[in-house]
Each structure stands twice: as structure tokens, then as C-alpha cells.
Amino acid sequence: MKKIIAGLFISLDGVVEAPDQWHFPYFNEEMGAAVDATLGAADIMLFGRKTYDSFAGAWPEREAAGGEDAHFAKKLGDARKIVVSNQQLDFTWRNSEQLRGDLVEAVTALKKEPGDGTIGMSGSVSVVRQLLAAGLLDELHLLVHPIAVRKGMRLFDEGEHSIPLTLVSAQPFKTGVLNLVYAPAESAGTAGYEDAKVHLSQHEQ
């Protein structure tokens, strides 16, 4: 079965909107490698429409320009790209198609298509939220930047149910960015202060 991995640039206060306005000062070779591990290694890319439009408006031109990022642009161009939208879409970027039908049902079927491989996601916050809630997201890669943006959409919105996660790995970058990888967890468990107080320091003041 295919694995779905979502990668997001996120601020210390949880903002994921418009990272192009605040995250580039922190982009170094470590972050480049992390992004490549999420997107460059994906056989299939899954996008929300807005994120797809942003990518399609930039990466084909970068590939054609033949600059330093042309190799990565070609990887994106060669990958199968599936776009989630309720509107009928027309595509000019090669290997692009529209997801049909109910999101959860369609993504479940996509994961079960023959072969293993990775379905990569970048941005597409509303889709990430829905897949997390449905238990379809296998890994959430968060590049946590040491900045409080203080405005814009947060990753997690208000909801009735919590979403427990387990930390798979944590890596600090030289810029102060934290590369955190989470996977779904069965439950956060149940505990109260009586359970927690045994872990408080017993040293006399």
C-alpha cells in the first residue's frame, strides 16, 4: 500500500499560510534535503487546488529556464500530480489530473493502487486536515521555524475531536528550524494530575 507524506512549513505559533513571506531566510541545505525527501522522492503528488495553481505557475518555467533548481523542477513535472477540487479544472502542466468523487473514498482507493511508493503533499492545508481526521495520512513532516508570524491560517482549526500523534523523529537545523516527523497514534491515553505529580522533582528546596 502506498504511503501519504505531507510536508509543511510552519511558524512557532502554528501559521502555515503564505510561507513564501517568512520562511526563505531559514532555507539552507538542510531544509533543501528535507524538502527533497518529501517531494522529490514522491511518485505521486496530491494537491489542493490553490497549492497546485501556485506550483503550476512557477515550476514549469523554472524547469524550462535550466537554472539551479531545474533538476528538482523536472522531478515535480515528471511526477503524477492529482488535484483535489470541486471545480472542473484544465491543466497545462504535464502529468496532472483531477481527483474524482469523495475525497476520503478516492484517496483510500489511490493508496490501494498496485505498488508501494509515496504520495507526497506540500501545503494543501485543508486536504491535510481532512486526511488526518480520516486516518489516511501516514506521516506529517513539520519544518517548525523559530518565528511567530502572528497572522494567517494555522495548521489545526477548531474541531470536536483531538488528533493524537506520535513523534517519529526530530532534527534541529543550524538555522534553528526543527524538522519534526509525526505519525498517527492510537490514543494519547488518559491521565490526570495524580498521575503526573509522581514525575515532579522530589528534591528539597
* Residue 25 within a domain: yes
* Residue 204 within a domain: no
DSSP-derived secondary structure for 39-56: IIT-SEEEEEHHHHHHHH
**CATH code of the domain in which 52 resides:** 3.40.430.10
Give the 3-state secondary structure of residue 90: coil
pTM (two decimals):
0.91
Please give the Cα distance from 145 to 9 (Å, whole number). Answer: 7
Using the predicted structure, report yes or no on whether residue 189 has a pLDDT greater than 80. Answer: no
Domain holding 140, by residue range, is: 3-199
Instruction: Give percent of the chain with pLDDT exceeding 90.
Output: 80
* Residue 182 within a domain: yes
pLDDT level of residue 195 (50, 70, 90 thresholds): confident
* Residue 115 within a domain: yes
DSSP-derived secondary structure for 137-161: --EEEEEEES----SS-BSS---SS
* Residue 78 within a domain: yes
pLDDT tens, residue by residue, 127-143: 999 999 999 999 999 99
Question: In total, how many domains does the chain have?
Answer: 1
Please give the Cα distance from 164 to 187 (Å, whole number). Answer: 6
* Residue 205 within a domain: no
* Residue 131 within a domain: yes
pLDDT tens, residue by residue, 167-176: 999 999 999 9
* Residue 157 within a domain: yes
For residue 166, what pLDDT is reported? 95
Instruction: Give percent of the chain with pLDDT exceeding 70.
Output: 98
